[in-house]
Amino acid sequence: MSGGRVAGMYKPFAPPWHRLWPALWWLAVIAVVVLSLVPTPQMDLPRDSDKVQHVLAYAVLAAAAVQVFRSGRALLVAAIGLVSMGVLLEFVQGAATTYRMADPADALANALGVALGLSTALSPWRDALLRWSGGRG
C-alpha cells in the first residue's frame, strides 16, 4: 500500500497533526489490546460491571476513529477492525491465558461500544478534531 493510500484513509489534518492524531489512535488501540491481555487487579465489583468498561473502551476507540478516519470505506474498515479485534481478544483470553477467560458477552459489549462510538459520525461534532487542529476539511 502506498503512502498516499494510507494517508488518504485519514482526515486531512494540517501538520504536525496529520501524523499525531492517527498515531495516538493506534496507540489507544494497542493500549486496549495490552490491557485486555494482562492480569487484572482483583477488585470487588458488581457482577458483570466489566461490560460497562468494555462498552466505554470500544465506544471511545470508535468515536476517536470517527475523528481520525475519513467517512466511508476507511471508517467502515476501522469499525470492522475494532469489532473483529474485540472478538479475537476474547478468544485469545480464553485460549492463551490462565488468568483471563473468554466471554461472548464481552465481545457483544465491545460491538455495542463500536456502534455507539460510530454514532458520533451522525453528529455535528464528527469533524471537531479536524476543525480544532486546522485541517483542510
pLDDT average, residue stretch 18-45: 92
What integer pLDDT is reported at residue 4 of this predicted model? 60
Residue-wise pLDDT for 53-104, tens only, equals 999 999 999 999 999 999 999 999 999 999 999 999 999 999 999 998 999 9
Measure the N-to-C terminal CA separation of the chain; round to a whole number of Å.
24
What integer pLDDT is reported at residue 2 of this predicted model? 46
Q: Which helix (H) or strand (E) holds 4?
A: helix 3-7
Averaged pLDDT score across all residues of the chain: 92
**CA distance to 13, 69, 124, per residue, from 54 (Å):** 29, 22, 25
Cβ atoms < 10 Å from Cβ of 90:
22
- Residue ranges per structural domain of the chain: 12-36+48-132
Entry pTM: 0.90
What integer pLDDT is reported at residue 1 of this predicted model? 44
78's CB contacts (< 8 A; 6+ apart) are 62, 65, 69
Based on DSSP, count helices (H) and strands (E) in the chain, helices before strands. Answer: 6, 0
| pLDDT of 7 strictly over 90 | no
